[in-house]
Structures are given as C-alpha cells and as structure tokens.
C-alpha cells in the first residue's frame, strides 16, 4: 500500500466522522457559504508570474517543514508579495493542517484560496465552501472518471474553481472534461517521492488549451519556471520553498520580483 492509498483510507474514516458531527445544513448556514468566490484560473491567465504559494507545516516526504509560523502572517505576506493564489493544506494527520487554517487565511487576505485536500466525498466540497475556499483540488490517482465528473460539476455549482491533479498520461486521459478549470501536473512520483520536471514537460502537449496548465512539486527556483513557461504552464504551485524560511511572504516577494524583473 503506497502513501496515497493510506491517506485515502484514513480520509474516508475521517470524513464519515465529520459528517456525523456537523450536518450539511450547518455548513450551508455558515456566513462564508454565500460569499462570492474569486477565480484562481482567471488570476493565473492574467499573471506574469503565476505563483500559487502554499501554507504547509509538514508532509509525509519531508516531515516537519515549518511549525512555527501562523497562518495569518503567511497569508498576508503572500498577498503583499503579489501571488495569484494561496494553497492551504487542511489534512491534519499527514500534513498538520486543518479547516481552521483555511478560515484564518480567509479572514487575513483576499486571495483565491485553494483547499488542498484529499477529496473523496461531496461533503468536503461543502466544507470547502463553508470555510472560505475558492478552489478545490481533485486528485486523479484516487478518483474514478465518474467521481471526477460528479465532484467537479458539484464544485462548479458552488462557484468553486477546480484544479485537477495528474501524475501520468493514463490519469490525464481519464480526467479531461469541461467541468475542470485547471489541470495540474504533479512532478512528484507518489510511490518513490522522486521529483522531475520532465513529467510536466512530457504531459504538457496532451493538455488542451482550454485549461490553465499548472505545474506542482519540485519548483524551487526561477529557472524551473522559465523552463516550464514555453510548455504553456501559467500556474506554479510552490510549497516547501517559501515555507521552509522564516518569512515566506518576504521570500515570495523577492522570488516574484526576480521572476518578473
């Protein structure tokens, strides 16, 4: 069983528990549920840098990245830096995140927020909306084509952007459908944790131009982005690179300045 299978198994149990504690009607009554969302896809289309910066405390591959920063400072710092959007990890067991992190980020900035989560149930989309997200992530490796269709269409009905993540050609072919806004290529092999930008390059030609192309994982320098832009990538998800510093906002500011300079 690889790490993704393990996370998914735990996630099913976690979601069942959450559903028993907080009914859907309660989520729908949340103050943020009626909020007008901001499109990350549009931001990326109109940006020179395309940076989606992440708040991430730890990960299965790196253990602790940064446990000392508060979400509020990180969100404000990223917004001041001029990023296109912010990704917030809400998985507790493996990444040390929570839905409260999403809520705090929402209260601290006006950026489009991506709920970075392992989505296996429509309930999680209602949570995302209720806690202030603008975008949800769907991971092709853990979902069937029918599930991708069902969740992405449901997300659209909630006015949430959909970023679908693939790791290989097979996942890409089963995933392409009109209800997605962005197609993300994860450069990390989830079985070995090896990272290679070649994954983004080789899949770029197979992604129709209707979708905003996003490259994820292993993007730690300006060179990587310059290398991927000619392949049509407009979005770049950067997690550890900013989070492993004492001041992610200041680092993102420098990074974007240099990139656009």
Active site residue 174: no
| Phi, psi values for residue 227, rounded to 5° | -70, -30
State the sign of the Cα–Cα–Cα–Cα dihedral 7, 142, 23, 92: positive
Catalytic site residue from 216, 224, 241, 251: 216
Catalytic site residue from 127, 165, 171, 240: 165
Residues 189, 3 contacting (CB under 8 angstroms): no
Active site residue 79: no
Catalytic site residue from 54, 79, 117, 240: 54
Reference 18, options 73, 80, 99, 88; nearest CA is 99
Active site residue 110: no
Active site residue 43: no
Catalytic site residue from 43, 59, 186, 187: 186
Distance CA 154, CA 91 (A): 21
Q: How far is CA 165 from CA 67, 203, 214, in A?
A: 26, 12, 9
Active site residue 19: no
Catalytic site residue from 217, 224, 241, 251: 217
Active site residue 153: no
Task: Please give the structure tokens belonging to residue 104.
Answer: 């705090």
Active site residue 28: no
Catalytic site residue from 56, 127, 171, 224: 56
Catalytic site residue from 11, 108, 116, 241: 116
Catalytic residues: 54, 56, 116, 165, 186, 216-217
């Amino acid at each position: 069983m690889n790490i993704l299978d393990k996370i998914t198994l735990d996630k099913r149990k976690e979601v069942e528990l959450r559903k028993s504690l907080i009914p859907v009607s309660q989520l729908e009554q949340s103050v943020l549920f009626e909020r007008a969302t901001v499109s990350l896809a549009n931001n990326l289309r109109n940006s020179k840098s395309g940076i989606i910066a992440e708040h991430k405390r730890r990960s299965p591959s790196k253990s602790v990245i940064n446990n000392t920063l508060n979400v509020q400072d990180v969100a404000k710092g990223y917004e001041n830096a001029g990023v296109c959007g912010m990704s917030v990890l809400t998985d507790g067991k493996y990444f040390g995140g929570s839905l409260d992190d999403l809520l705090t980020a929402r209260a601290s900035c006006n950026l489009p927020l991506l709920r970075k989560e392992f989505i296996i149930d429509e309930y999680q989309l209602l949570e995302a909306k209720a806690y202030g997200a603008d975008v949800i992530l769907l991971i092709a490796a853990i979902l069937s084509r029918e599930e991708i269709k069902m969740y992405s269409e449901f997300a659209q009905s909630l006015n949430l952007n959909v970023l679908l993540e693939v790791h290989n050609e097979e996942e890409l072919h089963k995933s392409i459908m009109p209800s997605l806004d962005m197609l993300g290529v994860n450069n990390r092999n989830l079985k070995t944790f090896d990272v290679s930008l070649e994954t983004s390059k080789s899949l770029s030609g197979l992604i129709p131009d209707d979708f905003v192309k996003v490259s994820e994982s292993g993007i730690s320098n300006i060179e990587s982005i310059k290398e991927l832009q000619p392949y049509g990538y407009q979005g770049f998800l950067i997690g550890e690179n900013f989070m492993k510093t004492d001041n992610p906002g200041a680092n993102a500011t420098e990074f974007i300045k240099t990139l656009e300079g």
